């Protein structure tokens, strides 16, 4: 029996570099030797890095018969010539060892140790490989659909990755065997096992998709300054070009939307606004509120707030469905944005909706706030029909709210 036959499965197919594998094999077999002989000082272990063959040799100095004082480092002449009759006194005797010299129990123990060491190395390799790839896109096959997560097999490596439900886009419906894209969000160790978390809601996913679709981003001619998202619903991306000849917005959208359409489909029809970044805060806020057209802007730099004035027909566009547009614009610019109709006077007396909590139920107030109406006048500025269209409130509820609010100013 030779070493290679018994440990053949560790020669190839393992995703571990050769020097590391050689070191592990040497360590395991030196432990085997120490247990049998008490020391490994006079033993050589040779691993052929080309084919994985492994040999163990015991090396001792040949001394005349009867003069052996240290059996670990010396061998008598008569014993040496029984190994090879060409040996002479004073030379080193090389005696090859086989697994059978160690006994079945020792071999099984060494085998188990080797398996354990290899598994640990493979875990370390997976952790390192994916830690270096955090922020990269992966394509994988859905291997299992669980209640809280999907198990995905990386198409490139075959490693198992996890896509939690809360990292999926609303509208993601997948079955076992489907292919799915995501970005590597983080890698962590749980119970001594590497866990690779994939995300489709992270802003980095959108950024990497754009990098794939827009060569100018990959080449560094266009920079993505910031991305904010409500996954599956809406996103805003601020881009900047370092080449005056390149229109960053046009390049990202592509001819007739050719570049952005693929990304929108991948993100389940997420509405993506591409905004030209500028250091001019007023202009940046104006661009961030797209598709609404802003008439005028007042800035409070100390409090990081902006008063934005628009024509009446632009107010709902600025706020967006469920307040999504104004929310993302605020996140993109770092300014809290207050929207006013052009003929509104911000100094005009107004009352926060929360002041009416005794008369109006909290869930109704929350529904109005979702469309950007957080004061009495902001609600009264909209018609009953507009309020019904933009909220989930029933007509009777809205009529009651309008009466209460109108009464407040009628008493002035």
Q: Is the pLDDT of residue 320 over 90?
A: no
What CATH number is attached to the domain comprising 112? 3.30.1480
pTM: 0.65
Overall average pLDDT of the 266-272 stretch: 93
Overall average pLDDT of the 20-45 stretch: 84
Overall average pLDDT of the 67-75 stretch: 89
What CATH number is attached to the domain comprising 165? 2.40.50.140
Q: Is the pLDDT of residue 237 over 70?
A: yes
Residue 148: the pLDDT is: 92
Provide the residue range defining the domain that includes 28: 3-128
Q: Would 83 be classed as within a structural domain?
A: yes
Looking at the structure, do residues 11 and 118 belong to the same domain, yes or no? yes
Which stretches within 243-311 are classed as H helix?
A: 248-253, 258-266, 281-288
Which stretches within 137-199 are classed as H helix?
A: none
Question: Using CA of residue 69, residue 74, residue 78, residue 82, what is the dihedral sign?
Answer: positive
Residue 205: the pLDDT is: 96
Tell me the pLDDT band of 50, cut-offs 50, 70 and 90: low
Looking at the structure, do residues 362 and 249 belong to the same domain, yes or no? no
Q: Percent of the chain, pLDDT > 70?
A: 92
Q: Is the pLDDT of residue 13 over 50?
A: no
Q: Percent of the chain, pLDDT > 90?
A: 44
Looking at the structure, do residues 219 and 153 belong to the same domain, yes or no? no
Looking at the structure, do residues 174 and 213 belong to the same domain, yes or no? no
Rounded to whole angstroms, the Cα distance separating 333 from 321 reads 19
pLDDT tens digits for range 322-369: 889 999 999 999 999 988 877 655 556 678 888 888 889 989 888 888
Q: Would 261 be classed as within a structural domain?
A: yes
Q: Is the pLDDT of residue 211 over 50?
A: yes
The residues, any chain, with a CB within 8 Å of residue 85's CB and separated by 6 or more, are none
Looking at the structure, do residues 33 and 93 belong to the same domain, yes or no? yes
Residue 45: the pLDDT is: 84
pLDDT tens digits for range 281-306: 999 999 999 999 998 898 999 999 99
Tell me the pLDDT band of 1, cut-offs 50, 70 and 90: very low
Looking at the structure, do residues 139 and 109 belong to the same domain, yes or no? no
Question: Residues 148, 66: contact at Cβ < 8 Å?
Answer: no
Looking at the structure, do residues 123 and 9 belong to the same domain, yes or no? yes
Question: Residues 89, 64: contact at Cβ < 8 Å?
Answer: yes
Q: Would 357 be classed as within a structural domain?
A: yes
DSSP 201: S
Looking at the structure, do residues 162 and 231 belong to the same domain, yes or no? no
Q: Is the pLDDT of residue 8 over 70?
A: no
Which secondary-structure segment (H or E) carries 140?
A: strand 137-145
Looking at the structure, do residues 101 and 145 belong to the same domain, yes or no? no
Residue 263: the pLDDT is: 94
Asked which of 80, 109, 128 is the last residue of a domain, the reply is: 128
What CATH number is attached to the domain comprising 286? 3.30.300.20
Query: Partners of 55 in the beta sheet?
Result: 46
Asked which of 113, 128, 143 is the last residue of a domain, the reply is: 128
Number of domains in the chain: 4
The number of C-alpha atoms within 13 Å of 214 and in the hemisphere containing its C-beta is 31
Question: Residues 169, 267: contact at Cβ < 8 Å?
Answer: yes
pLDDT tens digits for range 142-178: 999 999 999 999 988 888 999 999 999 988 889 999 9
Q: Would 71 be classed as within a structural domain?
A: yes
Residue 411: the pLDDT is: 59
End-to-end CA distance of the chain: 103
Looking at the structure, do residues 317 and 209 belong to the same domain, yes or no? yes
Asked which of 200, 225, 251 is the last residue of a domain, the reply is: 200
Rounded to whole angstroms, the Cα distance separating 85 from 37 reads 25
The residues, any chain, with a CB within 8 Å of residue 354's CB and separated by 6 or more, are 365
Query: Partners of 144 in the beta sheet?
Result: 151
Q: Is the pLDDT of residue 230 over 70?
A: yes
Looking at the structure, do residues 8 and 97 belong to the same domain, yes or no? yes
Q: Would 338 be classed as within a structural domain?
A: no
Pairing of strands 193-199, 43-47: unpaired
Question: Residues 193, 162: contact at Cβ < 8 Å?
Answer: no
Looking at the structure, do residues 281 and 247 belong to the same domain, yes or no? yes
Residue 15: the pLDDT is: 59
Tell me the pLDDT band of 270, cut-offs 50, 70 and 90: very high
Greater confidence (265 vs 410) lies with 265
Q: Would 373 be classed as within a structural domain?
A: yes
Cα of 209 vs its chain's centroid, Å: 13
> How many angstroms separate the most distant Cα atoms in the chain?
123
Q: Would 57 be classed as within a structural domain?
A: yes
Q: Would 37 be classed as within a structural domain?
A: yes
The number of C-alpha atoms within 13 Å of 100 and in the hemisphere containing its C-beta is 4
């Amino acid at each position: 029996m030779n070493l290679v036959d018994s440990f053949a499965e560790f020669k190839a197919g393992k995703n571990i570099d050769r020097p590391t594998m050689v070191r592990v094999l040497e360590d395991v077999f030196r432990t085997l030797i120490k247990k049998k002989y008490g020391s490994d000082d006079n033993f050589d272990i040779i691993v052929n890095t080309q084919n994985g063959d492994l040999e163990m040799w015991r090396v001792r100095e040949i001394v005349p018969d009867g003069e052996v004082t240290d059996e670990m480092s010396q061998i008598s002449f008569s014993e040496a010539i029984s190994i090879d009759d060409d040996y002479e006194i004073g030379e080193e005797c090389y005696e090859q060892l086989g697994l059978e010299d160690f006994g079945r129990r020792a071999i099984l123990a060494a085998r188990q140790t080797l398996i354990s060491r290899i598994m640990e190395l493979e875990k370390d390799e997976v952790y390192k490989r994916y830690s270096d790839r955090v922020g990269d896109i992966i394509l994988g096959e859905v291997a299992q659909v669980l209640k809280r997560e999907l198990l995905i097999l990386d198409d490139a490596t075959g490693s198992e990755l996890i896509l939690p439900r809360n990292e999926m886009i609303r509208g993601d419906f997948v079955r076992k065997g489907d292919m799915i894209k995501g970005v590597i969000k983080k890698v962590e160790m749980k119970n001594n096992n590497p866990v690779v978390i994939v995300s489709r809601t992270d802003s980095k996913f959108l950024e990497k998709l754009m990098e794939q679709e827009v060569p100018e981003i990959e080449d560094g001619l266009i920079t993505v300054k910031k991305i904010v998202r409500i996954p599956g619903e809406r996103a805003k991306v601020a881009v900047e070009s370092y080449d005056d000849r390149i229109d960053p917005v046009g390049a990202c959208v592509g001819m007739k939307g050719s570049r952005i359409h693929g990304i929108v489909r991948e993100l389940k029809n997420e509405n993506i606004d591409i905004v030209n970044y500028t250091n001019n805060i007023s202009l940046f806020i104006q661009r961030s509120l797209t598709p609404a057209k802003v008439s005028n802007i007042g800035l409070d730099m100390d409090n990081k707030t902006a008063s934005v004035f628009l024509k009446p027909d632009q107010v709902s566009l600025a706020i967006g469905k469920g307040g999504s547009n104004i929310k993302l614009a605020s996140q993109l610019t770092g300014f809290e944005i207050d929207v006013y109709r052009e003929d509104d006077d911000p100094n005009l007396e107004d009352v926060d909706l929360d002041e009416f909590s005794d008369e109006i139920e909290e869930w109704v107030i929350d529904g109005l706030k979702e469309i950007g109406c957080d004061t009495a006048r902001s609600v009264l500025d909209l018609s009953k029909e507009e309020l019904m269209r933009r909220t989930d409130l029933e007509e009777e509820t809205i009529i009651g709210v309008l009466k209460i609010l109108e009464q407040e100013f009628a008493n002035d």
